[in-house]
Chain A
Amino acid sequence: MLSFITRRLLLGILTIFGVILITFILVRVIPSDPAAQWVGGRATPKQVEAAREELGLDKPIYVQFEHYIKDLLKGNLGYSLMTHQPVYEELKKRFPATLELVFISCIIALLIGIPLGLISAKDKNSWIDHFSRFFSIGAISIPTFWLALVLQLIFFMILGLLPSGGQLSMKIKLFQNVPHITGFIFLDSLITGNFAILKDFLKHLILPAICVGAYTIGLVARMTRSALLEILSEDYIKAARSYGLPERLILYSYALKNSLGPTTTAVTLAMGYALMNTFLVESVFSWPGIGKYIADAVVCLDYPVIMGVTIFAACAYILLNLIADIIISLDPRVKL
């Protein structure tokens, strides 16, 4: 088992290397003038020259690549053209908000999506099956950014029930001492028992969470359904029935345990999509995470930020896949 993990880890590192290679091509090879891009459109010619020297653009490509990797390993992702702050620091600051959003959305999505897929497969072709299939396909077809605007329209503008954005309302931020233990507002308010903050946070969380989670629910429900349908048509399920085992044991134990592989894959994919959805949703809801960070950066072509977030998100995704592979390898059928 350990050798499997080491092998997989090495493979992961190799993949990250591939990612870095691709990003290098994006940053240095594709643009017509990487130095000018790096310092932004409003730089003086002198600044561009300085950047050119700093980036070592006169040196051969492989030397540039070497410098690039060295920079990355040092944690040097460049400086934001807008704020002139190191990208790495800004990412660190903003990441917890996005993580919280993605994590909570995914948990809710799984709690809804998996049972939906399960019931759908169990009672195939019943009305609930047709309903959930239509619902799932609808969920993966809806444009996330549009859903965000529509929800904001309905719940903020028309109904006035929910806030239009941010993590916490002004009142709370000004008058309450927001605890900072883990960096996650949800956990911190739970730990300190501050339910006022918790309630406020949840009110702010609900709309972005729905937007981030919508695609995920549809995806997970569909994948669960198809995995279970295939499993339920297998011979060992037929045999288990012939031995007189009750249906619920067959479904929740025999069938479900076989779906570890497809379910893990579905969850991983779902989290990947959720992360991408935050890019689209955070700016609409002014959620202070890396999604908003990159969305703002794109508008003013803040290339170091764009690059930093890309590398970061890609590495996070690779890590996620690594964990998923390890979980799947727990299946006794998988030969290590």
Chain B
Amino acid sequence: MSKKSNYYNILIKRRLETLKEYLYLLKQNKLTFAALIIILFLIIIAIIAPIIVPFPSHIYGAVNPQDKLLSPSWTYLFGTDEMGRDLFSRVLYGTRISLLGSLIAVAMGLLIGVPLGLMAGFYGGFIDEFVMRIVDMFLSFPPLLLAMAIAAFLGPSLQNAIIALIVSWWPWYTRLIRGQVVSIKEREFVRAAHAIGTPSWQIMYKHILPNCISPVIVQASMDLGGIILTLAALSFLGLGAQAPIPEWGLIVNTSRTYFLKAWWYGIFPGMAIFIAVLCFNLLGDGLREVLDPKTKKY
């Protein structure tokens, strides 16, 4: 066996071992494990939604006036809305929108925020000052406010809401990573890598990043939930998804007009938001217990 393949074998084996250890620890926390299962379930629903939805035409447009505002029944599990559309189908399809939107926002936020934080922490000096001043400017807004303002001025739509969220969220990751980088930068293995002439980008991404990635992973998984919540809040206010997109927050907002006549209207989409966000938060919390070396038991 060549030396190189031997090396990779050992590497893979070691990675698998750590993975097994993490799964073992994760499984110990039953609540987190349950949350993970539910999230996987939601992801599956999101993917196969177009197939399993009972009334595909109801998702966006079709008007069905004779069936409007019916209370939940076996045909219409969550009842119908004012246009006679099946709420169950709409809420089901909304899973796609919320999960996908949240994933895009968090991914883009990480893509922008993490490299900036790495660079700011690693190079220090002027770059650090410049980036962190901008970050501070963004973070001096209370959460949600900046996203609201940006979404309002870009023009209310689902895409603009997601853009607004990306712009509001990336500074958190930058600040998080930068703090970690600054403390890791001084450690010996970084100096050693520097001394043997490793190019900077390699030091940043291969040596420093893996060591400070865990708080970011924890934060990102909780943010997946947080962004679903904020996106729904934006849509609730009228700044996000616009009719006829079946976004959960928007449906809750529309339900307000028919609050007295159709109490069930807003309950289910809101419940969906709650469950999704709850599971992501539980997952993030469980990951923190697993990944945080301070809370590790001996």
Q: Which residues in A have some Cβ–Cβ distance to B below 8 Å?
A: 15, 18-19, 21-23, 26-27, 30-31, 37, 133-134, 137-138, 140-146, 149-150, 152-153, 157, 229-230, 233, 272-273, 275-276, 279-280, 284, 294-295, 298-299, 301, 303, 306-307, 310, 313-314, 317-318, 321
Contact = CB atoms under 8 A, between A and B. Distances in A.
Contacts of B154: 30
B52 interface: no
B238 A157 contact: no
B140 A321 contact: yes
Contacts of B278: 137-138, 141-142
A298 B238 contact: yes
Interface string B235-268: 0111100000000010011011001100100110
B212 interface: no
B137 A273 contact: no
A299 B278 CA distance: 29
25 contacts: A15-B140, A19-B141, A21-B137, A27-B153, A31-B153, A141-B225, A141-B274, A143-B232, A143-B236, A145-B249, A145-B253, A145-B270, A146-B273, A146-B274, A149-B270, A150-B267, A272-B143, A280-B233, A284-B256, A303-B152, A303-B153, A310-B149, A314-B140, A314-B141, A317-B140
Question: Which of B140, B233, B282 counts the most A-chain CB atoms under 10 A from its CB?
Answer: B140
B50 to A, nearest CB: 25
Contacts of B282: 137
Q: Is the interface of B mostly helix, strand, loop or mixed?
A: helix
Contact of A142 (B145, B255, B274): B274
A230 B118 CA distance: 27
A149 B252 contact: yes
Interface string B270-296: 110110011001100100000000110
B150 interface: yes
B266 A149 contact: yes
Contacts of B238: 298-299
Q: How large is the interface on B (under 10, 10 to 19, 20 to 34, 35 or more residues)?
A: 35 or more
Contacts of A310: 145, 148-149
B237 A280 contact: yes
Interface string B75-95: 000000000000000000000
A15 B239 CA distance: 26
A-B complex: 5 closest residue pairs judged by Cβ atoms: A146-B270, A18-B137, A141-B278, A272-B142, A141-B277
Contacts of A280: 233, 236-237
B256 A230 contact: no
B285 A26 contact: no
